[in-house]
Amino acid sequence: MKLFLFDIDGTLISPGPSARMAINQAIENFTGIPPDLQIKNVAGLTDRLIVKNALIKAGRESDVADAIDGIITNYLELFEETYHQSDGAFVYEDSIDLVNKAKAMNYPLGLLTGNVKRGAKIKLGKFGLMDHFTFGAFGDDGATRNDLPPVAQRIAKDTLGISFNYKDIILVGDTREDAIAAKTNGCQSIVVCRRKEWYDDIVNAGADLVVDSLSDPRIEEKFLS
């Protein structure tokens, strides 16, 4: 039995600018310094690591342990308010194509994302997508993405009653960090390259399959047969 674990940002959906704007604002509210987070500062990272890195960059290393939870809470408050009013977010239709194909073959689906759980629910809830996924491993559950596959494996056993071997767990993402997390834990990976400039990094990270679209027929041949 195979288990498919989907990333959210850049894989299932694009959240638009509101998420990064909200976490920027929450960090600035605490430090007084705009962190000016760019896509390279957030892609593939957990929410908590994004905040930690920004605090260190602002010279606030001593505040890291105590400040992260408060900043994340402020971020979620700001984000929830703006996200549902924003028209910048959208669903990647090729991701839904893969979700539907895997479900049609009765493969269980979960989430593996750097978003904290509440953030994941906000992002996917806008489009009614949470119901596709039985469980998830979230940014609350580990410091880095590499920490999350063991969490997902454990929760899958508790939720589904199935002990998945890592080689049967397939991470579906869009960054080199997804490929690294899979390789580090002995999982497989499908990485959709939404940004052409990331292609070499994704390949060099050891992704099992790099595609331009999650509707690529090679996915069915390699993972859904």
Query: How high is the pLDDT of residue 65?
Result: 83
Reported pTM: 0.96
Distance CA 224, CA 138 (A): 25
**By the 8 A CB rule, do 123 and 102 touch?**
no
**By the 8 A CB rule, do 45 and 114 touch?**
yes
Query: How high is the pLDDT of residue 98?
Result: 98
**By the 8 A CB rule, do 115 and 47 touch?**
yes
Q: Which of 171, 98, 103 is nearest to 134 (CA)?
A: 103
Indicate if the pLDDT at residue 87 is higher than 90. no
Distance CA 74, CA 36 (A): 17
Band (pLDDT 50/70/90 cuts) for residue 85 is confident
Mean pLDDT, all residues of the chain: 96
pLDDT tens, residue by residue, 147-203? 999 999 999 999 999 999 999 999 999 999 999 999 999 999 999 999 999 999 999
Q: DSSP for 77-102, please give it.
A: HHHHHHHTT-S--EE-HHHHHHHHHH
Q: What mean pLDDT comes out for the span 53-72?
A: 91
Indicate if the pLDDT at residue 62 is higher than 90. no
